[in-house]
A and B are shown apart, each in its own frame.
Chain A
Amino acid sequence: MFDTLTDRFDAIFTRLRGRGRLGDAEVAEVLREIRVALLEADVNLVVVRDLLEAIRARCTGAELAKHLTPAQQVIKVVNEELTVTLGGEALKISYASKPPTVVLLAGLQGSGKTTASAKLARWFRQQGRHPYLIGADLQRPAAVEQLRVLGAEIGVDVFSEPTDPVSVVRSGLAEARRLGRDVVIVDTAGRLAIDRVLMDEVRRVSEALHPDYTFFVVDAMTGQDAVQTAEAFHQALQLDGIILTKVDGDARGGAALSVKQVVGRPIAFLSTGERVADFEIFHPDRLASRILGMGDVLSLIEKAEREYDEEVTGQTIERLQAGTFTLDDFLDQLRQLKKMGPLTGLLSLMPGVPKEVRDAKVDDRDVGKIEAIICSMTPLERTDPTVLDGSRRLRIAHGSGTSTTEVNNLLRQFKEMQKMMRGIGPMAKLMGGRPGNPSKSSKGNRKKVKGGRVTPSSRGLGPTR
């Protein structure tokens, strides 16, 4: 795993303890680290250079705030610069006064245009529109078939015919008008930016369509080449926005920054998964943290939102409010966690997880052990662990194929956790009593996240195993 920027900076800044300002030498060293981090995140070299200049200007001689360490301070500056670069004006879709509003998607092969087309159609329908899909990718075998299947899945009609892309979009547009659809989304074949013939073709498609929006679809895993490709497409098509796909992987997504910088148009949407529902409006601040490898609480929350069973969570919250969090609840939570993927993956999403914890070898099979231990307990033992005497513990150890030491360990940690949860309980009550105020609750939540982290990890990190 990459060291996060914070760790690297900390190493540099331990040397300037006691000083209130950043000198040129420190700034230069820090900038080198930032450069490597950005390049590792696939931000284009040229874009990195511009960014570093901006950061240098803001860091040199800057007064250090009292409540932040120098490392945090620089990170803050970098994060802000990235957010500004990524953000700027957000794309606001304004619909054509004379429908339909035409949207054209273009990009390299395999960037995810066909899938993005369907997802975009679904998004428009959620906005109360009546979208229509045109499959103008006549190049790749079965591309239109793919669009038709996806269209059927989301209940949006798909138009295509085996002629040539320009006539397909002409008749498709006429058909959309006849049917009274107000949004038309056109999927095109993937093409290389240096392929003259195909770039010319997509230009002709664009001329025939007069699209209101032309989106460039780009894979989040793209490397340095993103800039050249985006430039070529921008030249040919006058892009209006960017759709970043495959964001659900672990690529840092620096390409987004490069493309944004080169094209100067906003990143409009993120495609975040394989299901048609995995599509969202872009938030610059989150991607900035991700490029820096700083963890992403908001994404974690959303992941939880997606994978967590609301009913189970609801029960847990009730227990929390009542102050009775049992091993059964713990087991439920554990199983929910398992659904979300390996622990290490989740940890990488959390900001500020101590280095020792992050680097520790975590064996996910241990999760299974814990599950086995709890499952070997009787219902009484689960609700009231105080009844667990030596012989019960031995039975549990036998039953779960573990040792009594492991059982004891679990119980001790669980006790710690109960204490912590009791701290959360009243807060939960507070928030539960105030529904319909999400901004407030998410703020409270973030604060709590931090509290919840510090307590157990600082306490429990003694000798392991």
Chain B
Amino acid sequence: MTLVIVLIVVAVALLVSAGLVVSTRSRRGAALEGRGAPQPGTLPSTASTISAQAEPEPSPRFEAEAARPVMRDRLGRARGLLAGYFDQVRGRKGIDDATFEELEEALILADVGVATTTRVLGDLRDKLHSGALSATDPTALLQALQDDLVAMFDGDVGSLAYGDGDGPTVWLFVGVNGVGKTTTIGKLALRETESGRSVVLAAGDTFRAAAGEQLESWAERAGARIVRGSDGADPSSVIFDAVQHAASRRAGLVLADTAGRLHTKVNLMDELRKVRRVAERPPGQLTEVLLVLDATTGQNGVVQARQFTEAVGVTGIVLTKLDGTAKGGVVLAIRSELGLPIKLVGVGEAPADLVPFDPAEFVSVLFG
């Protein structure tokens, strides 16, 4: 505890000094409350509205395709940059330091991160030195690298778990702002209703303006029910209501949306902990806590995954927006550091573009 006191003293000294600057500037004051604090005017949980859409209106654009698109088909157009590096490696006669430099650059450009890249390439060098790999065959080296990367995802299944008890299965979606949580839920709702499940959407993002409306338009499309709270309502209460609603209607699946939040916001992460506690309360069976991650995210993705896992026990990752030029290599770093499986991948705007993760495809796309 001594240490804590020392730290406080340090911080106080700093902050008092900071405060001096404030007061001399005499600027706006009034401490702003975090949004986790109760706000006057917000309605209690009973104000949740429940609406149901009997008839889905499938717009032509969102009609599901007959065959499941494979990642590769969707991602073909995004190759280029990295492919060049690997072609160069293949084109060389032997394997030398330049080969490894090129591999390193390619992996780093794919956002794999320095630590993971160094480790993976170190293993590869070891294989080369021990004679397990021929020093004159760059193609075999590339194949070995691909195999190593695929092996990192050993044991992953790209499917989501359903509860085996009586109550509705609950999947909770978490992540930072703007990664595509609501869109992912919308697409999944469509997929699940099409496969004959009765789905309830819980509009747990009560913070962002019009997030509820966005989810509602997906509910309409999917023919799912939606439970909404008033703006600024406690997200836990919305999700509680959704689970109750699902149980009473004997709906099998609840997809719970949450507001995007940066993992550095303590009060919001606390709020999320509470959401999780409520979501796993019977009759609900919480089987998946999915972290939605934008493929353009850099090394901060690892920090995000760690913080969210600590707070709410993430069970898997949904990697969105992989149809752009970003490679999403940060999931390799996350996998190697935290062991989290990747469950779904978003490779386009249409609902059918949310596909199960396939390590071999993912890695082969990485290699262009």
Contacts and interface: CB of A to CB of B under 8 A. Distances in A.
B29 A309 contact: yes
Contacts of B31: 306-309, 336, 339
A343 B7 contact: yes
A350 B15 CA distance: 11
A310 B22 contact: yes
A442 interface: yes
A432 B22 CA distance: 11
Contact of A362 (B4, B262, B324): B4
Given A248-B262, A300-B14, A456-B10, A413 B20 contact: no
Interface string A416-448: 110011001000100110111110011001001
Interface stretch (B89-97, B137-145, B210-218, B244-252): B210-218
B176 A221 contact: yes
Contacts of A250: 262-264, 300, 303
A300 B18 contact: yes
Main secondary structure of the interface of A (DSSP, over half): helix
A192 B321 contact: yes
A203 B323 CA distance: 21
Contacts, number: 318
Residue of B19, B108, B208, B262 with most partner-chain A CB within 10 A: B19
Nearest to B209: A149
Contact of B17 (A150, A225, A410, A452): A452
A275 B176 contact: no
A416 B207 CA distance: 44
A249 B294 contact: no
B22 A313 contact: yes
Given A45-B105, A112-B178, A431 B321 contact: no
B32 interface: yes
Contacts of A449: 13-14, 17
A223 B13 contact: no
A271 to B, nearest CB: 10
Chain B interface size, as a band, is 35 or more
A46 to B, nearest CB: 9
A360 interface: yes
A295 B299 CA distance: 18
A449 B177 CA distance: 34
A375 to B, nearest CB: 15
Nearest to B217: A141
A348 B6 CA distance: 15
B114 A40 contact: yes
30 contacts: A45-B109, A194-B78, A221-B298, A222-B297, A223-B299, A225-B296, A225-B325, A225-B326, A228-B325, A249-B263, A301-B21, A304-B15, A305-B22, A308-B29, A317-B19, A317-B20, A336-B31, A337-B8, A341-B265, A343-B7, A345-B266, A410-B1, A413-B9, A424-B16, A434-B24, A437-B24, A445-B20, A453-B10, A461-B3, A465-B1
Interface of A: 36, 39-42, 44-45, 108-112, 140-143, 145-150, 153, 192-194, 219, 221-226, 228-229, 232, 246, 248-252, 254-255, 274-275, 300-301, 304-311, 313-314, 316-317, 320, 330, 333-334, 336-337, 339, 341-343, 345-347, 350, 353, 357, 360, 362-363, 366-367, 369-370, 406, 409-410, 413-414, 416-417, 420-421, 424, 428, 431-432, 434-438, 441-442, 445, 448-449, 452-453, 456-457, 460-465
10 residue pairs, one from A and one from B, having the closest CB atoms: A223-B298, A310-B29, A110-B178, A452-B13, A42-B298, A149-B209, A313-B19, A142-B213, A225-B326, A145-B210
Interface of B: 1-27, 29-32, 34-35, 77-78, 81, 105, 108-111, 113-114, 176-180, 183, 186, 207-211, 213-214, 216-218, 262-266, 294-301, 303-304, 321, 323-327, 329-330
Given A449-B13, A463-B2, 13 more contacts: A36-B114, A146-B211, A193-B325, A194-B325, A219-B296, A246-B262, A249-B262, A275-B32, A307-B32, A310-B22, A310-B30, A461-B6, A464-B1
